[in-house]
Copies of this chain bind each other. A is one copy, B any other.
Amino acid sequence: MKKDTKISVKQLERYPIYLNFLLSLRNSNIEKVSSKQLAEALNCSEEQVRKDLQVVAPNSSKPGCLRDVNALIAYLKEYLGFNKVNQAILVGVGHLGSAFLSFKGFSDYGLDIIAGFDIEPSLTGTTINDKPIYSIFSLDNKVKELGVKLAIVATPKEVTQEVVNKLINSGVKAIWNFVPIHLEHPDDIIVENMDFARSLSVFFHRINNK
């Protein structure tokens, strides 16, 4: 992934949308794509498409020329860090946490969940999708032993802040949080919220303003 802090979140979030569209073209055995097609698929201007793709795949296309679908997919995956393997642990093996451990699709996005943690004693020592579940009480030791810096949090709301504090104390540097609550954390720790409440807000607003 390129070092480029100037790119906006909005722009960054468009890249996986390009990627999904390109993957759908590849599935239909389409090998070339125009900026116009990309602009229509993303509901933005052609100028926007050219500007966006210039960041990811510089000099990959002249105006008016078709772009190679496979090459663009490769550039985008590289840029988004999906070609790397990012190891993470998961805390909270409830319904959602179990679904994450079972899901085999994360590897396409460079994420490898290597273990789960839960407070429930009957889960300790079991596996889901060949991934071991450890007791939450061994979190500190295991995080150090595994040398893992990323964690996914899918616990009940009431304990999430406590879990996040424990993770940070154990050496975790970045947290992908699925719990819709306000979290306190030091500035040097990255917390990215995958907040369904935010998505639902937009969904309901669009429905009600139709």
Kindly list chain B residues whose C-beta atoms are within 8 Å of the C-beta of A150. 207
| Contact in complex: A181, B20 (CB < 8 Å) | yes
| Contact in complex: A203, B174 (CB < 8 Å) | yes
Instruction: Decide if A39 is an interface residue (CB 8 Å cutoff).
Output: no
> Residue-by-residue, is A133-169 near B (CB-CB < 8 Å gives 1, otherwise 0)?
0000000000000000010000001000000000000
A96 to B178, CA, bound (A): 13
| Contact in complex: A80, B204 (CB < 8 Å) | yes
> Residue-by-residue, is A174-210 near B (CB-CB < 8 Å gives 1, otherwise 0)?
1010001110000010101111111111111111111
Kindly list chain B residues whose C-beta atoms are within 8 Å of the C-beta of A7. 205
Instruction: Decide if A4 is an interface residue (CB 8 Å cutoff).
Output: yes
| Contact in complex: A182, B81 (CB < 8 Å) | no
- Point out which of A41, A188, A199, A206 has the most chain B C-beta atoms below 10 A from its C-beta: A199
Instruction: Decide if A171 is an interface residue (CB 8 Å cutoff).
Output: no
In the complex, residue of chain B having the shortest beta-carbon distance to the beta carbon of A203: B192
Contact pick for A200, options B17, B109, B195, B200, CB 8 Å = B109
A102 to B111, CA, bound (A): 25
| Contact in complex: B174, A190 (CB < 8 Å) | no
A198 to B193, CA, bound (A): 11
Kindly list chain B residues whose C-beta atoms are within 8 Å of the C-beta of A81. 201, 204-205, 207-208
Kindly list chain B residues whose C-beta atoms are within 8 Å of the C-beta of A200. 16, 80, 82, 109-111, 176
Kindly list chain B residues whose C-beta atoms are within 8 Å of the C-beta of A15. 201
Contacts A1-B208, A190-B206 hold; do A176 and B201 have CB atoms under 8 A apart? no
| Contact in complex: B199, A23 (CB < 8 Å) | no
Kindly list chain B residues whose C-beta atoms are within 8 Å of the C-beta of A17. 182, 195, 198
